[in-house]
């Protein structure tokens, strides 16, 4: 790549990185707002999360278009190409996390009509805060080229899995004790599973950062603490 093309490529990548960080900030916000809307029974805030998902989707499209144009115009190779491929994967994961936040906000509108399940709202909010911090650290690791921080995020996914497992057992207990809790506990379980999946996607992003920095994907299997057999995907 000659000096002129290299300089143009650097400008393109800087602009795309700015978009990724903007998208990441909106997704972080969506995670926290979705959990808060449930805890506060705030329908207005839940609707804000749902509306905000359109902006996140639009940013993913713009990142995809900009990255594709840069690949076509600059013909990057080696680490330059790896950087753009990483950007595309990060954007895709962020979009999915945004979808999960939107799904939580959707279920909040149903749960406000039901009696709260003791301790569930606070536990889900703690879980969401943990995932949001993992995402924040992953984006920091991406900008700084910090594979050590990315690996730290990767290891922390197990904590989110443990939180999910504990909640899953609690919901089962509540449902067995009183069948009237079944509907609300099922909604809460789907919310918890959405947050657990956000953690998995964030961990995937951290692995992409490690790949970007080192040129290799992590060899060791990530520690997983999710022992349940359920797999829930956003509708």
Task: Provide the residue ranges of all domains of the chain, joining segments of one domain with +.
Answer: 3-214
Q: How far apart are CA 177 and CA 132, in angstroms?
A: 33
Q: Which CATH superfamily is domain 3-214 in?
A: Phosphate transport system protein phou homolog 2; domain 2 (1.20.58.220)
Predicted TM-score (pTM) of this structure: 0.90
Task: Give me the chain's average pLDDT, please.
Answer: 91
Distance of CA 11 to CAs 17, 67, 152, 179, Å? 10, 12, 30, 59
Q: How far apart are CA 28 and CA 33, in angstroms?
A: 9
126 vs 230, higher pLDDT: 126
Percent of the chain at pLDDT > 70 equals 92
Confidence (pLDDT) at 17: 95
3-state secondary structure of 92: helix
**Backbone φ/ψ region at 78: left (φ over 0), alpha (ψ -120 to 50), beta:** left
pLDDT of 223 higher than 70: no
pLDDT of 231 higher than 50: no
Distance of CA 227 to the CA centre of its chain: 20
| 29-82 tens-digit pLDDT | 999 999 999 999 999 999 999 999 999 999 999 999 999 999 998 888 888 889
Confidence (pLDDT) at 5: 58
Confidence (pLDDT) at 2: 54
């Amino acid at each position: 790549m000659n000096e002129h093309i290299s300089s143009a490529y650097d400008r393109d990548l800087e602009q795309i990185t700015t978009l990724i960080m903007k998208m990441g900030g909106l997704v972080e916000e969506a995670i926290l707002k979705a959990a808060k809307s449930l805890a506060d029974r705030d329908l207005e805030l839940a609707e804000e999360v749902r509306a905000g998902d359109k902006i996140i989707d639009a940013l993913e499209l713009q990142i995809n278009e900009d990255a594709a144009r840069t690949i076509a115009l600059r013909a990057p190779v080696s680490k330059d190409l790896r950087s753009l491929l990483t950007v595309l994967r990060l954007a895709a994961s962020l979009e999915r996390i945004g979808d999960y936040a939107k799904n939580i906000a959707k279920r909040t509108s149903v749960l406000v009509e039901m009696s709260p399940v003791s301790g569930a709202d606070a536990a889900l909010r703690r879980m969401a805060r943990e995932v949001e911090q993992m995402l924040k650290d992953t984006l920091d690791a991406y900008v700084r080229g910090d594979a050590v921080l990315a690996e730290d995020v990767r290891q922390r996914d197990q904590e989110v899995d443990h939180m999910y497992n504990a909640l899953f057992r609690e919901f089962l207990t509540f449902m067995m004790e009183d069948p009237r809790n079944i509907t609300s506990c099922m909604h809460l379980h789907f919310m918890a599973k959405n947050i657990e999946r956000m953690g998995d996607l964030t961990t995937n992003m951290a692995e992409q950062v490690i790949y970007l920095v080192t040129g290799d994907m992590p060899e060791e299997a990530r520690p997983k603490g999710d022992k349940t057999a359920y797999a829930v995907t956003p509708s």
